[in-house]
Amino acid sequence: MLYRFLTFVNSASSGTTYSNIAYYISNNFSKITQMNLEELADACYVSQATISRFCRFLGFESFTHFKMECQRSLRDGERRINDIVSTISQGDDEYKKSFRHYGDVIIRELQALMDSMDVAQLDALLERIHNTEDVALFGIHRCASVIQELQFSFALKDKFVKAYAGTTHQLECARELKKDSLAIVVTSSDGFWFEAHDVVDALAKSPCYKILLTTRRDEKQQEMFDEVILIGSGQARGSSYTMMNYSESMISRYFTKY
């Protein structure tokens, strides 16, 4: 959610009504979840109707839908920060020790990925992507950045894959997939099954070929997929780095082969 606003602010012409609204939201994100439509409109010096149109412009059904997504994004952001190191006040030495421990976790996770790398499996995945005309990638939060980087990199080799930002557009995409389409879900302890449950339901009903790339070993939803590729050791902490590293192996290998 916040990434979406920052992207909009960075790309929109300054001084426009919508860019001013987005700038205010980005600068007061934690407060938005406690504001009603009237309060936000007054803070942005626009009408309530303008705020509603802005929410629909960004793909939300209403201001209420928009605020719910803000709340989810805020909770997820706080959880991810605390996954790195506790935000509880600490002395300098305690903080350094805690952050060093997190670094050690990342190193172990990346080592586990390198030790378990299955090149034949990776090649089979890339071959299916290359040979399928309609390919769609799904992911949220940090994995959203992963799928968009994959989209950019594949495009450099004349291969277009869909990687929509936000669950609203991903839901529309999931509903449009056909039998000869390929759906790839990318997740790493990021709440995808809960926060994108509508997308999950649509994919479960889709006749397309489905592949799950996950860092978790206990995903209950694995049964709905035709293939499951397990990445790393299965630990939650540091798993986003493991997924990013695996996506880089996908990119470099694709460039080597195609």
In the chain, where the domains are located = 2-82, 113-257
Do residues 233 and 246 lie in contact, with contact meaning Cβ atoms separated by under 8 Å? no
Is 95's pLDDT higher than 90?
Answer: no
Cα 208 to its chain centre, rounded Å, is: 21
User: What pLDDT sits at residue 206?
Assistant: 96
Please provide the average confidence, as pLDDT, over all residues in the chain: 86
Quick one: pLDDT band at residue 83, thresholds 50, 70, 90?
A: low
User: What pLDDT sits at residue 91?
Assistant: 75
Do residues 237 and 137 lie in contact, with contact meaning Cβ atoms separated by under 8 Å? no
Is 100's pLDDT higher than 70?
Answer: yes
Burial call 139-174: b when 16+ CB within 10 Å, e when fewer: bbbbbbbbbbbbbebbeeeebebbbbbbbbebbebb
Token pair 């499951």 is at which residue?
228
User: What pLDDT sits at residue 1?
Assistant: 62
Tens digits of residue pLDDT in 166-186: 787 899 999 999 999 999 999
Do residues 201 and 177 lie in contact, with contact meaning Cβ atoms separated by under 8 Å? no
Spatial distance between the Cα atoms of 50 and 56, rounded to a whole number of angstroms? 10
> Max alpha carbon distance in the chain (Å)?
58
Spatial distance between the Cα atoms of 125 and 130, rounded to a whole number of angstroms? 9
Beta strands 135-138 and 209-214 are unpaired
Is 193's pLDDT higher than 90?
Answer: no
Quick one: pLDDT band at residue 122, thresholds 50, 70, 90?
A: very high
Same fold, 2-82 and 113-257: no
User: What pLDDT sits at residue 84?
Assistant: 64
Instruction: Report the top-level CATH class of 2-82.
Output: mainly alpha
- Report which listed range, 90-104, 123-137, 191-205, 238-252, is most confident: 123-137
235 vs 187, more confident: 187
Spatial distance between the Cα atoms of 126 and 139, rounded to a whole number of angstroms? 18
Q: Which fold has domain 113-257?
A: Rossmann fold (3.40.50)
Note the pTM of the prediction, 2 decimals: 0.74
| 211 beta partners | 184, 227
Quick one: pLDDT band at residue 69, thresholds 50, 70, 90?
A: confident
Is 99's pLDDT higher than 90?
Answer: no
User: What pLDDT sits at residue 12?
Assistant: 73
Where helices occur in the chain by DSSP H, the ranges are 2-11, 17-27, 29-32, 37-44, 48-57, 63-84, 92-116, 119-131, 142-156, 167-176, 192-195, 197-205, 239-257
Report the interhelical angle of 239-257 vs 92-116 (nearest 10°): 40
Tens digits of residue pLDDT in 139-169: 988 888 899 999 999 999 999 999 987 787 8
User: What pLDDT sits at residue 80?
Assistant: 66
Spatial distance between the Cα atoms of 171 and 86, rounded to a whole number of angstroms? 34
Quick one: pLDDT band at residue 136, thresholds 50, 70, 90?
A: very high
Burial call 180-217: b when 16+ CB within 10 Å, e when fewer: ebbbbbbbbbbebeebbeebbebbeebebbbbbbbbbe
User: What pLDDT sits at residue 159?
Assistant: 95
